[in-house]
Amino acid sequence: MKKISLIGAGNIGTILAHSISRKNLGNIVLIDKVDGLAEGKCLDLSQSLVIDGIDLSVVGSNDVSRIKDSDAIIITAGIPRKPGMSRDDLIETNFKVMSSIGEAIKHHAPNSFVICVTNPLDAMVWSLKEVSGLKKNMILGMAGILDSARFKFFLSELLQVSVCNIDTLVLGGHGDTMVPLLDYTTISGIPLKEYLKLKNIDQDPIDKIVNRTRNGGGEIVALMKNSSAFYSPALSAIEMLESFINDQKKVLPCSAFLDGEYGV
> In what helix (H) or strand (E) does residue 115 lie, and over which residues does it extend?
strand 113-116
**CA count, 13 A, side-chain hemisphere, 157:** 12
Is the per-residue pLDDT at 60 higher than 90? Answer: yes
Quick check: do 3-141+230-245 and 144-224 share a fold? no
- Whole-angstrom distance, CA of residue 35 vs CA of residue 204: 51
177 SS3 class:
coil
- Whole-angstrom distance, CA of residue 156 vs CA of residue 85: 28
| Antiparallel, parallel or unpaired: β 27-31 and 139-141 | unpaired
Query: Comparing 44-48, 146-150, 210-214, 257-261, which segment has the lowest mean pLDDT?
Result: 257-261
Q: Domain boundaries in the chain?
A: 3-141+230-245, 144-224
What global pTM score does this model have? 0.94
Neighbours of 181 (CB within 10 A): 15
Active-site annotation holds for 174: yes
Q: The domain 144-224: what is its CATH number?
A: 3.90.110.10
**H helix intervals, the chain:** 11-23, 37-52, 91-108, 121-132, 144-159, 192-198, 204-214, 216-224, 231-245
Confidence of residue 264 (pLDDT cuts 50, 70, 90): confident
Neighbours of 162 (CB within 10 A): 10
What would the pLDDT profile of 195-251 be if each residue is shown by its tens digit? 999 999 999 999 999 999 999 999 999 999 888 999 999 999 999 999 999 999 999
pLDDT (0 to 100) of residue 20: 98
Place domain 3-141+230-245 in its CATH homologous superfamily.
NAD(P)-binding Rossmann-like Domain (3.40.50.720)
Burial level of 203, CB count in 10 A (0-12/13-18/19+)? exposed
- Whole-angstrom distance, CA of residue 122 vs CA of residue 144: 11
Is the per-residue pLDDT at 176 higher than 90? Answer: no
